[in-house]
Amino acid sequence: MKRIAAIACLLIITGYAYSQSPAEKKIRKSVDSLLKLMTLDEKIGQMNQYNGPWAATGPLTNDGNLLSQIKEGKVGSMLNVTGVKRTRELQEVALQSRLKIPLLFGQDIIHGYRTIFPIPLGEAASWNLAAMEASARVAATEASASGIHWTFAPMVDIARDPRWGRVMEGAGEDPYLGSLIAKARVNGFQGKGLGDTSALMACAKHFAAYGAAVGGRDYNSVDMSLRQLHETYLPPFKAAAEAGAATFMNSFNDINGIPATGNKYIQRDILKGQWKFKGFVVSDWGSIGEMINHGYSKNNYEAAFQAANAGSDMDMESRSYIQNLSRLVKEGKVKMSVIDDAVGRILRKKFEMGLFADPYKFSNENREKAQWNNAEHLAVSRDIARKSIVLLKNEHHILPVSKQAGTIALIGPFAKAQGDNRGFWSYEWPDDSLRMVSLWQGVQKKVSAETKLLYAKGCDFMDSSRAGFAEAVEVAKAAYFVILSVGEGPNMSGEAKSRSSIQLPGVQEELIKAVVATGKPVAVLISAGRPLVFNWTADHAPAIVYTWWLGTEAGNAIADVLFGDYNPSGKLPMSFPVTEGQIPIYYNHYNTGRPAQNDSDKFYRSAYTDLSIYPKYPFGYGLSYADFEYSDIRLSAKSFKPGQTITAAVTVTNKGNTGGTETVQLYIRDLTGSVVRPVKELKGFQQVYIKGGETKEVSFTISANDLRFYNDQLKYIYEPGDFKVFIGTSSRDVKEAGFELR
Ligand code: GLC
């Protein structure tokens, strides 16, 4: 039997060898030769990542002897070290080590580096994959010019709970949209591929299911069926791996009782096994050591043992590896093959990045300067910022506003905000006051010379003072049109920012009430990192625009939309709850045995007796200045067999005068299955520009593969039976038809 196994292994290795390109073979050889030269301590050094002493994104442990550790080859990577000067300095120290192995510099380039882009949840609202890829491409170009090799992005955690502050970093609630966005962002960051000087290694995070933390409380436990894990939370990670993401980052949470950092099932069985992932896994900040808090590890020694054997290749900041792995190997608790596999993965990326050939290739001062004030990058940021804006309401078409309006009042804590448009996970630069465009500045540049602009702050984000209300009301009364800009204050969404209340903060909704009471036409702009609750505003303000946190070009992008130079096209990537009590609420839920069909049908129904069954705004919702009308669905056939396809088509007519982009969405429902199936699942979308009065046909091809799901044996299958197909402008406003898979 052993002989057969040996032959099988040989065949697999040979097969793998044959499947490699000459370049890959060359790198594999270089890695193998280098591993042979390395001592155990030098190998463990590659698995050790420290934070730079200049900034921190987690609880810092200060090592006085950082430079000597780098010189001794005890550090393989640094994070939060930016700038050509600093990275070059530390690289020079690393090259004094015995084997001159260069450092990898990692950083959270989540939505821009020098040019700040909309937060990822905002970009997701654009549903424009090319724009999101372009955004990541600019971020990579700027960051790689500043000595950074690796971004800890894209964050691809599916999230259905807006109390979790990190929803701002992801792509919302849907696995299909989230998977396409994961791929677009990985491609954007890595560009032409590792080795190109504008490439940034991507890092799909947080593996896995971090967005399903109980109660939306950051770092909290996650407990779900493996079927749910595969059906909903793993697809964007699989997409990132298939797109060639260079690295993964595991997550702080425990999954079904085992911390992700020590979770062999997700890291070895799924990622490195089933998905054949060849990159490396970095822990999250200190997450190896935090397994002690989880009650999974007795001490750092055991944590190192568990994490290394479970497939965590690099230790971010916990020091568990550098302090314990040598002993664990000598005691035979961690095999040298485990160390060699982890170090081999890390070295392979350093070779692929070209760092052995030229450790300073990313440390070019002229290149850094050239990227610093790049007008093209600002244009890319403004473009996706406009596309991210979601028009939630526009009664009597009071928007767009005329550029010749006599007097416009800009009111609210966001009206003149600049840095507040940056959003969590972004960089503050000394010249931001010159670069970040406020709403006030954007409107100023947009309106005619005759237009008079009035301003009043009204109130702050969070405080309870209403002292500014009177001035705000006076200013509103003096104006032809009022733009009221409110939202979440800086850092109210992001890591460790979970909140039990997601109402519009402070007294901002009272300010809105006071201004709306003047009877003036008011457009309320809401800037936030997450879905918020603002029911009075939603029911009484004539126009509402969701403006997320849009980055450097925020003011210009918002003004483009408000004054009609861009017809809003954004669609919500997350459901907006009526209140916190409705959470979790998401569109792709199961039907249950007693489904509530509407708001009067609640008795003995899966519904709250005191609350609507619908979200305030559903997934996929967003209005336009155009007026899109959908025809009924036309199916090319009523049934088909596996291997065949059918098409589902609609015509969309723009009954308005203004041209605009519509995101036509395709949803499918499997009416019966060997496991219960969601009432709708997004399976396609197309963005079409339709001129005023124009009609366009939009057609989707459906195959059996589009109908697959994970059954109770975790097999990814389709099953024959009856299906419904829905096509429409949101997950709720759809036309429907039926077909059969035979
Ligand atoms: C943080 C975050 C992670 C980030 C890392 C490094 O705690 O969880 O997303 O990439 O530490 O900053």
Per residue in 705-725, pLDDT (tens digit) is 999 999 999 999 999 999 999
In a domain, 473, yes or no: yes
What pLDDT score does 145 carry?
A: 96
Residues 449, 349, single domain; the answer is no
Question: Is the C-beta atom of 58 inside 6 A of ligand 1?
Answer: yes
Residues 355, 387, single domain; the answer is no
Residues 656, 559, single domain; the answer is no
Residues 398, 348, single domain; the answer is no
Question: Average pLDDT, stretch 130-140?
Answer: 98
pLDDT band at 58 (very low <50, low <70, confident <90, very high): confident
Question: Is the C-beta atom of 52 inside 6 A of ligand 1?
Answer: no
Nearest CA to ligand 1 atom 3: 284
Give the total number of structural domains in the chain: 3
Distance CA 188, CA 178 (A): 15
* Residues 240-297 pLDDT 10s: 999 999 999 999 999 999 999 999 999 999 999 999 999 999 999 999 999 999 999 9
Task: Give the Å distance between the CA of 714 and the centre of ligand 1.
Answer: 31
Nearest CA to ligand 1 atom 12: 57
Task: Give the Å distance between the CA of 251 and the centre of ligand 1.
Answer: 9
Residues 388, 314, single domain; the answer is no
In a domain, 167, yes or no: no
Among 57, 169, 281, 288, say which to mutate for ligand 1: greatest number of ligand atoms within 8 Å of CB. Answer: 57
What pLDDT score does 275 carry?
A: 98
Residues 542, 639, single domain; the answer is no
Name the phi and psi angles at 79, rounded to 5: -125, 160
Residues 6+ apart with CB under 8 A from 462: 489, 492, 505, 506
Residues 552, 642, single domain; the answer is no
Distance CA 275, CA 164 (A): 29
Q: What is the mean pLDDT of the chain?
A: 96
Are 624 and 660 in contact, with CB atoms under 8 Å apart?
Answer: yes
What is the atom index within ligand 1 of the atom nearest the CA of 155? 9
Task: Give the Å distance between the CA of 632 and the centre of ligand 1.
Answer: 47
Name the phi and psi angles at 538, rounded to 5: -60, -35
- Tell me: pLDDT of 59 over 80: no
Distance CA 530, CA 153 (A): 18
Residue 266: CATH number of its domain? 3.20.20.300
- Tell me: pLDDT of 545 over 60: yes
* Residues 650-686 pLDDT 10s: 999 999 999 999 999 999 999 999 999 999 999 999 9
- Tell me: pLDDT of 4 over 60: no
What is the atom index within ligand 1 of the atom nearest the CA of 152? 10
Question: Average pLDDT, stretch 352-356?
Answer: 98
Task: Give the Å distance between the CA of 284 and the centre of ligand 1.
Answer: 6
Residue 644: CATH number of its domain? 2.60.40.10
In a domain, 179, yes or no: no
Residues 334, 362, single domain; the answer is yes
In a domain, 225, yes or no: no
What pLDDT score does 23 carry?
A: 87
- Tell me: pLDDT of 7 over 70: no
What pLDDT score does 10 carry?
A: 56
Lookup: tokens for 64: 């006085």
Among 152, 164, 290, say which to mutate for ligand 1: greatest number of ligand atoms within 8 Å of CB. Answer: 152
Question: Average pLDDT, stretch 517-524?
Answer: 98
- Tell me: pLDDT of 351 over 60: yes
Nearest to 348 by CA among 565, 42, 23, 644: 23
Lookup: tokens for 687: 């963005």
Return the H-helix or E-strand segment holding 210. Answer: none
Catalytically annotated residue among 161, 284, 670, 706: 284
In a domain, 320, yes or no: yes
- Tell me: pLDDT of 53 over 80: no
Domain boundary pick from 582, 597, 618: 582
Per the DSSP assignment, residues forming a β-bridge with 667 are: 682, 726
Cα separation of the two ends of the chain: 44
Question: Average pLDDT, stretch 29-48?
Answer: 98
Domain of 674 in residue numbering reads as 628-741
Nearest CA to ligand 1 atom 11: 285
Residues 30, 81, single domain; the answer is yes
For 425, the 3-state DSSP assignment is: coil
Are 724 and 668 in contact, with CB atoms under 8 Å apart?
Answer: yes
Nearest CA to ligand 1 atom 8: 284
Question: Average pLDDT, stretch 635-641?
Answer: 98
Distance CA 83, CA 104 (A): 13
- Tell me: pLDDT of 18 over 90: no
What pLDDT score does 14 carry?
A: 52
Lookup: tokens for 584: 């979790």
What pLDDT score does 303 carry?
A: 98
In a domain, 169, yes or no: no
Are 680 and 667 in contact, with CB atoms under 8 Å apart?
Answer: yes
Domain boundary pick from 303, 337, 372: 372
Task: Give the Å distance between the CA of 170 and the centre of ligand 1.
Answer: 13
Domain boundary pick from 324, 353, 372: 372
Question: Is the C-beta atom of 205 inside 6 A of ligand 1?
Answer: yes
In a domain, 479, yes or no: yes
Question: Average pLDDT, stretch 75-82?
Answer: 95
* Residues 365-412 pLDDT 10s: 999 998 888 999 999 999 999 999 999 999 999 999 999 999 999 999
For 438, the 3-state DSSP assignment is: coil
Rg of the chain over all Cα atoms, to the nearest angstrom: 27
Among 78, 108, 168, say which to mutate for ligand 1: greatest number of ligand atoms within 8 Å of CB. Answer: 108
pLDDT band at 5 (very low <50, low <70, confident <90, very high): low
pTM of the model as a whole: 0.96
- Tell me: pLDDT of 16 over 70: no
Residues 362, 408, single domain; the answer is no
* Residues 558-569 pLDDT 10s: 999 999 999 999
pLDDT band at 54 (very low <50, low <70, confident <90, very high): confident
Among 77, 250, 495, 498, say which to mutate for ligand 1: greatest number of ligand atoms within 8 Å of CB. Answer: 495
- Tell me: pLDDT of 13 over 80: no
Question: Is the C-beta atom of 169 inside 6 A of ligand 1?
Answer: no
Residues 508, 456, single domain; the answer is yes
In a domain, 194, yes or no: no
Question: Average pLDDT, stretch 423-434?
Answer: 93
What pLDDT score does 3 carry?
A: 58
Residue 490: CATH number of its domain? 3.40.50.1700
Task: Give the Å distance between the CA of 426 and the centre of ligand 1.
Answer: 13
- Whether residue 712 lies in the annotated active site: no
- Where are the extended beta strands (E) located within 388-521? 390-394, 407-411, 452-456, 481-487
Residues 460, 492, single domain; the answer is yes
Question: Average pLDDT, stretch 694-713?
Answer: 98
